[in-house]
Chain A
């Protein structure tokens, strides 16, 4: 299981990386390599040249801008997992990260890599879709930002420019005082790709009524999906209403069957975990509210 031959460059800047990509149509970007290298080893991917962006200083790091948390593409998953900024501004991402692979793959895998590889059951893309993050790519033509929902097209398929790279992801930070999150996932083994995952974030007003809600479901179709549960806004999010709202919203899901799980299973569990994630998010928000 050895990769086919390829050349290797480690450009000094994003511009240089884009230039290499532009002049080599079958070049591939590599960062942490946790998804790409197995594909190379099995010769399912056979680029002529690997463009290693992992050490580009422009792409690393987590920064806060007004209303937004910006995570550079080559930020290691483990760095995001340990980041206090992520913990406080993006608790949903913080809740999802421990579910990404296992510790050794998070040590090397990057946030951008997980997004760029667009596995339908991957956790980081799910959170990006749920929270309506913006994905920034760059090629020789310049920078380009698009909503995560438009970025993910299908399994391993994105709207990233042919000869470009993903440079950062911009997560909106909810400014409400009382925000809670919930994350659930089921897989055959804890570290495997999810059969179904659910990520929810809610904001409550001082009376405990929902002012804003986001719910994403992963693993069910060919890309992560944001479910419309806006009907819960303005209500106390509790009781059967949650499950009903999720069930209604889940009508848009297009689950598939495979070796590990049936389509019916995926739909059924998406509804269950979606409701649970919302329930947890509400409880989390209430706890935070009470703690203030």
Chain B
């Protein structure tokens, strides 16, 4: 009984031997005897299932009519309250009636198949997937005939030239994609990714009301979401692109409780500092401010920046400090930028020269 097969079959010469034991200590008892179903054995049960199936199908048109009635009769904005559920009445109505309409067809069909259709199992036989030796040989000889007829044997160059030609056709097809976008040349990168609309003298404005921010109006511990004033006059895509890079947060901290490096002494106004709002990780706008610790937490992946220490990363997956915007006040006491950011804002990109970002301990 303990038959040992040398597998695989002979035609795979280079394959290592696997010794497979198809030992069947318990002989195959063969397919189970068919047991008569309750619905076949008991005529009353059979009739019940029959009625169920027909009943379910009969409900389908009822549901369909309900769907149509609800569509026309229920006011669009009416709402419905079912216990904790508070929802649009038409949506719930259409969903419930439409869902039941469809599902009933399914339940009826399955019930029919399981309880009423004959349930004797049948057996199909499998044949090895690989073709028989004769088929293979016949096929290969047909291939040979074809190759001979094509005369490729004597005119070899045609084959190589055709392959080459087909390959070359792909090149223009790919090249046609080149106008999908501008090229990321160094000058274009400088003009786009590395530049924002901030410039010397641009006022900081509140990002909702667009009112300029007065230094004297910010209290210690307060955070204001800001934008450059020029944004107010922009629209559409240009505006969104500008916001995606220029958004800032303005915070006021007690100057005695924070560390201001010598190189950034005049980037702030009495403890008011402005930072890019765009996370240096993958660019989420950062928003969660903890006034006692001066920590700013990004809601996306929880990178945490210390605004009391030039925006260095103290936790999380971000690798670079938040860029700080140098600011001062104008003659009317409003906060204005001294220049654009000194390093590119937002997520890293390959061509970014990251040697000038602020690192912990820099001065």
Decide whether A and B are members of one complex. no
